[in-house]
Amino acid sequence: MSDRDRARRAWCAAAVVVVVVAGACKKSRAGGPGGVGGGGPMGLPVEVAVARIDTVRDEITATGEIEAVQSIDLRPEVDGRIVDILVREGQEVEKEAPLFKVDDAQLRAQVAQLEAQRDLAQQALARTKDLANQNASSAADLERAEATARSAQAEYDLQRIRLERTTVRAPFTGVVGQRYVSLGDYVTTSTRLVSLHTVNPQRASFPVPERFARLLRPGQKVTFRVAAIPGRDFTGQVDFVDPVIQLPGRTIMVKARAPNGQRLLQPGMFIEARLVTAVRPGA
């Protein structure tokens, strides 16, 4: 090979090297950081958290007890001997259900007597009216006959009412509590017969310090726990805020109605209550 041919081949090889290097530089620029297939350093992974706004509840805590919405000791309205007991302790009864029967024999006789007197008075009044229409009776006689008839009717009505009240009835729907009398006992209008209590809803009753007076109002939500039923929350709604400060202690009595469909809440149970006074967004 001549010197001229060797020189030509060396020049061509140098040209090829220059082209390859130039192509590599171009590829490096195109594939820099962020480019596809780039040779730059990898970015660090970032965890994105969604911002959340919590709510803050202002609460008053207090201790109290469960009480029945209505609770009474029933007493008879007439004196007499108990001749029938129509309910048992613990029984649920409807309003106006008969509970006891007091002996009514004497009252029935009196009602019959007064009914006869009423009928005679009405007959006498009718005759006096006929005579008055015939000018055979004075106006004074007619007035006396009318007064006698009204009086006889009133006495009859009064005794009928007393007769009806020999049956002692439930004044509201509830559960019969302790019975204090037995069959055959003689009772008066001051004798306790039986206790009667409402069961659904019940009331959560608790005292609140007077410094919270301006924060209390009906309709507020109350959450409470019962010592006898651990781990379970009950809810109610305030329906009574005492307008009078109680002494000693300077507290305000608050009462909230709570559903009691399962009959779990019983009067006298100790409770720990939380009363929500405000709900506002937190940070």
Q: Are 201 and 255 in contact (CB under 8 A)?
A: no
pLDDT the model gives residue 239: 95
Query: What class has domain 70-102+172-197?
Result: mainly beta
Cβ distance 99 to 168 under 8 Å? Answer: yes
pLDDT of 19 reads: 39
Q: In angstroms, what is the C-alpha Rg of the chain?
A: 47
- 2.40.30.170, 1.10.357.10, 2.40.40.20, 3.60.9.10: CATH of 58-69+199-281: 2.40.30.170
Task: Give the confidence band of 35 by pLDDT, cuts at 50, 70, 90.
Answer: very low
pLDDT at 27: 44
Q: What is the mean pLDDT of the chain?
A: 85
Cross-sheet strand order for the sheet of 174-179: 71-74, 194-197, 174-179, 92-93
Report the C-alpha gap between 39 and 30 in whole angstroms. 10
pLDDT for residue 282 is more than 90: no
Q: Where are the beta strands (DSSP E) in the chain?
A: 55-68, 71-74, 80-85, 92-93, 98-102, 167-169, 174-179, 186-187, 194-197, 202-209, 221-226, 229-241, 251-258, 270-281
* C-alpha–C-alpha distance, residues 54 and 62, integer Å: 25
Which band of pLDDT confidence, cut at 50, 70 and 90, is reported for residue 28? very low
* pLDDT of 240 over the 80 cut: yes
Q: How far apart are CA 165 and CA 171, in angstroms?
A: 12
Q: What tens digit of pLDDT does each residue of 167-179 get?
A: 999 999 999 999 9
> Which pLDDT band holds residue 7 (cuts at 50, 70, 90)?
very low
How would you classify the pairing of strands 229-241 and 251-258?
Answer: antiparallel
Q: Specify the range with the lowest mean pLDDT, choosing from 14-18, 51-55, 143-147, 246-250.
A: 14-18
Give the Cβ contact number of residue 223 at 10 Å: 18
Is the pLDDT score of 160 beyond 90? yes
Establish whether the linkage from the previous residue to 171 is cis, with ω within 30° of 0: no
Residue 230: asked if its preceding bond is cis (omega within 30°), the reply is no
Average pLDDT over residues 175-186: 96
90: confidence class by pLDDT, cuts 50, 70, 90? very high
The full set of domain ranges for the chain reads 58-69+199-281, 70-102+172-197, 104-165
The pTM (predicted TM-score) of the whole model is: 0.69
